[in-house]
Chain A
Amino acid sequence: MNKQLLLGDEAIAQGAIDGGLSGIYAYPGTPSTEIMEYIQGSKQAAELNIHRKWSANEKTAMEAAIGMSYAGKRAMVCFKHVGLNVAADAFINASITGVNGGLVVVSADDPSMHSSQNEQDSRFYAKFAMIPILEPSNQQEAYDMTYHAFELSEKLNVPVLLRITTRLAHSRADVQRKETKKQNGIKLPSNPRQFVLLPAIAKKNYKGLLQQQPAMEEESDKSTFNTFINGKNTDMGIITTGIAYNYLMENYPDRNCPYPVVKISQYPIPRKMVTELYNSCKSLLIIEEGYPIVEDAMKGFMNIGKPIHGRLDGTLPRDGELNPNIVAKALGLSFTEGQPVPDVVKNRPPSLCQGCSHRDVYADLNEAMKDYGTGRVLADIGCYTLGALPPFNAINSCVDMGASITMAKGAADAGLVPAVAVIGDSTFTHSGMTGLLDAVIENTPITIIISDNSTTGMTGGQDSSATGKIVQICQGIGVKPEHIRVITPLKKNHEDNVKVMKEELAYNGVSVIIPQRECIQTAARRKKMEKKQ
């Protein structure tokens, strides 16, 4: 088979298809989105009839995957790092149930927060759940690891976390494929109570998980993804995790690093390898893309052993993504610097597209809010978050998906009336609906604007579960029909729309305004597709 030029995300997707995948469940989020998109676009996946539709959120995705595993088949879940927070309840408990068909969870971290609210390190979650992690250092490993991950999961009877970061997810390199494995058939768990986490059963399962820990460690020590590379100069030993290995090697063009290196790509931390390194070297340098997790473990709370350097003592920056020069500095090597950026170069922040419906919504809202003053608009995550920037300066919060409605409720409970929520259609069905129910039950005086562009815009225009359903959902949850107002956000409707908003702001209860106009990017793509057909 020929080599293919694949993004890290695509390598994972192809590795899963070839590894016997029966279903992928995911909610979009940078930098994980392209995994599902690749499988959706794959002819092979269509022929193999692999389930490949977006889920409403990461929790529903995780649970559906557990269900597929329960039925004996191999399933994969994908999301960005903060998606793992949403899926955490299901994720942690899946380590207690164990698996039937192999279950792989891909969480894509975003150090330096290129497109995220934080740079949390998903490896913490795997330690919390006491399950193995695979952390590829390049696209080929991303493919190979995913290919093997389902078997590892089945062998150890736990989900396996595949942790990647933005740089690998969105970088392309050539990948050599393997033969496609057959999918599992339907097969119920041999123990019918395996997935019934009643306390009596959960206790037993949990003991089983604890007993599995040495086997997981042994897998790590044996794993071909972890390597001990000898070096003559034992003044220092180096541990790298994931893609940090590449930045180390970039500084030794002929791969002649003088120090012994342990390259970790599978966890639990391979105890034998790192112990040997520690015992044979005078000090350690730990290079991790993410939080100083291995470093912390090696140091221990008392830090009474040999000197251990890394992110915690300032040898490497405490936050942000690594790069070759940062690592050169830590190694005490010389490095090059180009010319400074000239002063004429100005910042070019992302902005709402010209013609975007959110622009009109904010023009309307800013006008309608004039009498109430600023500071009352709690918003959410999506393209519309760019309304926080000039020229709109229209919103006052963006915390986590779904938080607009619930924060507006809390603010109104505190006496900030009226309080306004701004939320996108996909975010609404992701995790806004339950918050709306809270508000309806108390008839809290908030005005909710569901800015419906009928797509998941921010992440590139994936189908939105909400499309065509928002009015019915709001009615079903109990919003009074006369306070569900659908408007069309266009310049020519400005005055009418402001009037509607003012009316609902004045209403002392829950109201929902739904400005509805398709995302111009999605519309353009749709028209192009229709023309082709």
Chain B
Amino acid sequence: MKNDIILAGVGGQGILSIAAAIGMASVNSNLHIKQAEVHGMSQRGGDVQSHLRISDQPIASDLIPAGKTDLIISVEPMEGLRYLPFLAPNGWLVTNTTPFNNIPDYPETDALMGEIKKVKNHVAIDADTIAKEAGSSRASNIVMLGAASLFLDIPFEKIEEGIKQLFGRKGEEIVELNLKALRAGREFSEKNKS
């Protein structure tokens, strides 16, 4: 079993919280893991990405080879497209549709959606709205994780367990909210994977 995942977003959007949850679930499943993060300059509102590799075998490289990524999780619609050179022919793009617009030449939504639809396997999800419905727009990354979880070879219960561990300190209410967000994202993917 091997999942090569790229997380994409903009500095400050908190993609590492998704990585942490998957990492926790992987450790709990006794899998090997390598996770290359971006720290430093780009965190000031620039594009950021994280390569996350999980496997039942030892992992060599911290970086995923181009054309070999099984899953791109993007917390905003343009950033996922930036890593298409890394996507495997049968890989999945799971992307949030809510744009993060902090540049003057940010593309039109229609143009972005057009490109997303060209990707053979994709799920485009309005994670911000779904998160709000689940109780807090701040849980949108967890909605994304839920949507992406369908394409991971980790049992869903292990991911739920990871969420409980990550948010446990913040109290039962926060844990429940995030579990709700997680399940809502998962449900969306089940219904809308194309």
Q: Which residues of A contact B (CB under 8 A)?
A: 3, 5, 7, 30-31, 33-34, 114-115, 167-168, 170-174, 243, 246-247, 249-250, 323-325, 328, 335-342, 344-353, 383, 386, 458-460
Using Cβ atoms and an 8 Å threshold, which residues of chain B touch A458?
41, 44
Establish whether residues B45 and A172, one from each chain, have CB atoms under 8 Å apart when the complex forms. no
Using Cβ atoms and an 8 Å threshold, which residues of chain A touch B35?
5, 171-173
Q: Does B155 contact A (CB under 8 A)?
A: no
| Stretch in contact with the other chain, from B85-93, B129-137, B175-183 | B85-93
Establish whether residues A174 and B33, one from each chain, have CB atoms under 8 Å apart when the complex forms. yes
Indicate whether A167 sits within 8 Å of B68 (C-beta atoms), given known contacts A172-B37, A341-B82. no
Establish whether residues A174 and B27, one from each chain, have CB atoms under 8 Å apart when the complex forms. yes
Q: What 6 additional pairs, Cβ within 8 angstroms, besides A328-B65, A339-B119, A348-B10?
A: A30-B39, A170-B39, A173-B33, A247-B60, A348-B46, A348-B47
Residue of B nearest to A459 (CB): B40
Residue from A34, A250, A338, A345 with most neighbouring chain B CB atoms (10 Å): A338
CB distance from A148 to the nearest CB of B (A): 22
Q: Does B1 contact A (CB under 8 A)?
A: no
Establish whether residues A342 and B84, one from each chain, have CB atoms under 8 Å apart when the complex forms. yes
Q: In whole angstroms, what is the CA distance A231 to B54 when docked?
A: 28
Q: Does B81 contact A (CB under 8 A)?
A: yes
CB distance from B146 to the nearest CB of A (A): 22
Establish whether residues A250 and B60, one from each chain, have CB atoms under 8 Å apart when the complex forms. yes
Q: CB-CB contacts of B32-62 with A at 8 A, as 1s and 0s?
A: 1111111111111111000100000001111
Residue of A nearest to B65 (CB): A324
Q: Does B154 contact A (CB under 8 A)?
A: no
Using Cβ atoms and an 8 Å threshold, which residues of chain A touch B106?
346
Indicate whether A350 sits within 8 Å of B45 (C-beta atoms), given known contacts A174-B32, A341-B82. yes
Residue from A250, A323, A345, A347 with most neighbouring chain B CB atoms (10 Å): A345
Chain B interface size range? 35 or more
Indicate whether A337 sits within 8 Å of B63 (C-beta atoms), given known contacts A171-B34, A342-B115, A348-B102. no
Q: Does B67 contact A (CB under 8 A)?
A: yes
Using Cβ atoms and an 8 Å threshold, which residues of chain A touch B114?
344
Indicate whether A34 sits within 8 Å of B39 (C-beta atoms), given known contacts A336-B66, A344-B107, A344-B115. yes
Residue from A7, A339, A342, A348 with most neighbouring chain B CB atoms (10 Å): A348
Establish whether residues A339 and B37, one from each chain, have CB atoms under 8 Å apart when the complex forms. no
Indicate whether A5 sits within 8 Å of B27 (C-beta atoms), given known contacts A346-B107, A351-B45. yes
Using Cβ atoms and an 8 Å threshold, which residues of chain B touch A171?
34-37, 51, 62
Using Cβ atoms and an 8 Å threshold, which residues of chain B touch A459?
40
Indicate whether A352 sits within 8 Å of B44 (C-beta atoms), given known contacts A325-B66, A338-B67. yes
Q: In whole angstroms, what is the CA distance A249 to B61 when docked?
A: 8
Establish whether residues A341 and B84, one from each chain, have CB atoms under 8 Å apart when the complex forms. yes
Q: In whole angstroms, what is the CA distance A247 to B69 when docked?
A: 16
CB distance from B98 to the nearest CB of A (A): 16
Using Cβ atoms and an 8 Å threshold, which residues of chain A touch B51?
171
Establish whether residues B87 and A348, one from each chain, have CB atoms under 8 Å apart when the complex forms. no
Using Cβ atoms and an 8 Å threshold, which residues of chain B touch A115?
39-42
Q: In whole angstroms, what is the CA distance A7 to B34 when docked?
A: 9
Of the A-B pairs whose beta carbons lie under 8 Å apart in the complex, a sample of 26, sorted by A's number, is: A7-B37, A31-B39, A115-B42, A171-B35, A173-B34, A173-B62, A246-B61, A250-B60, A250-B65, A328-B65, A336-B68, A338-B69, A341-B84, A341-B85, A344-B81, A344-B107, A344-B114, A347-B47, A348-B10, A348-B47, A350-B11, A350-B41, A350-B43, A352-B44, A353-B44, A460-B43
CB distance from B47 to the nearest CB of A (A): 4
Q: In whole angstroms, what is the CA distance A335 to B64 when docked?
A: 12
Q: In whole angstroms, what is the CA distance A436 to B167 when docked?
A: 49
CB distance from A455 to the nearest CB of B (A): 14
CB distance from B127 to the nearest CB of A (A): 19
Using Cβ atoms and an 8 Å threshold, which residues of chain A touch B23?
5, 172
Residue from A31, A349, A386 with most neighbouring chain B CB atoms (10 Å): A349
Q: Does B78 contact A (CB under 8 A)?
A: yes
Establish whether residues A344 and B63, one from each chain, have CB atoms under 8 Å apart when the complex forms. no
CB distance from A95 to the nearest CB of B (A): 30
Q: In whole angstroms, what is the CA distance A101 to B54 when docked?
A: 40
Establish whether residues B40 and A338, one from each chain, have CB atoms under 8 Å apart when the complex forms. no
Establish whether residues A339 and B84, one from each chain, have CB atoms under 8 Å apart when the complex forms. yes
Q: In whole angstroms, what is the CA distance A328 to B34 when docked?
A: 20
In-complex Cβ contact of B42 among A114, A337, A346 (8 A): A114
Using Cβ atoms and an 8 Å threshold, which residues of chain B touch A170?
36-39
Using Cβ atoms and an 8 Å threshold, which residues of chain B touch A167?
36, 62-63
Using Cβ atoms and an 8 Å threshold, which residues of chain A touch B47?
347-348
CB distance from B116 to the nearest CB of A (A): 9
Q: In whole angstroms, what is the CA distance A16 to B21 when docked?
A: 28
Q: Does B112 contact A (CB under 8 A)?
A: yes
Indicate whether A337 sits within 8 Å of B46 (C-beta atoms), given known contacts A5-B27, A348-B103. no
Q: In whole angstroms, what is the CA distance A171 to B10 when docked?
A: 18
Q: Does B105 contact A (CB under 8 A)?
A: yes
Q: In whole angstroms, what is the CA distance A174 to B27 when docked?
A: 9
Q: In whole angstroms, what is the CA distance A5 to B88 when docked?
A: 27
Residue of B nearest to A348 (CB): B47
Using Cβ atoms and an 8 Å threshold, which residues of chain B touch A383?
44
Using Cβ atoms and an 8 Å threshold, which residues of chain A touch B62?
167-168, 171, 173, 243, 246
Q: In whole angstroms, what is the CA distance A91 to B131 when docked?
A: 53
Using Cβ atoms and an 8 Å threshold, which residues of chain B touch A5?
23, 27, 33, 35
Establish whether residues A338 and B87, one from each chain, have CB atoms under 8 Å apart when the complex forms. yes
Using Cβ atoms and an 8 Å threshold, which residues of chain A touch B115?
342, 344
Using Cβ atoms and an 8 Å threshold, which residues of chain B touch A336?
65-68, 88
Q: In whole angstroms, what is the CA distance A115 to B46 when docked?
A: 12
In-complex Cβ contact of A114 among B38, B66, B87, B119 (8 A): B38
Q: In whole angstroms, what is the CA distance A495 to B32 when docked?
A: 59
Q: In whole angstroms, what is the CA distance A459 to B63 when docked?
A: 23
Q: CB-CB contacts of B62-80 with A at 8 A, as 1s and 0s?
A: 1111111100000000110
In-complex Cβ contact of B61 among A324, A348, A386 (8 A): A324
Residue of A nearest to B31 (CB): A174
CB distance from A214 to the nearest CB of B (A): 34
Using Cβ atoms and an 8 Å threshold, which residues of chain A touch B88?
336, 338
CB distance from B33 to the nearest CB of A (A): 6
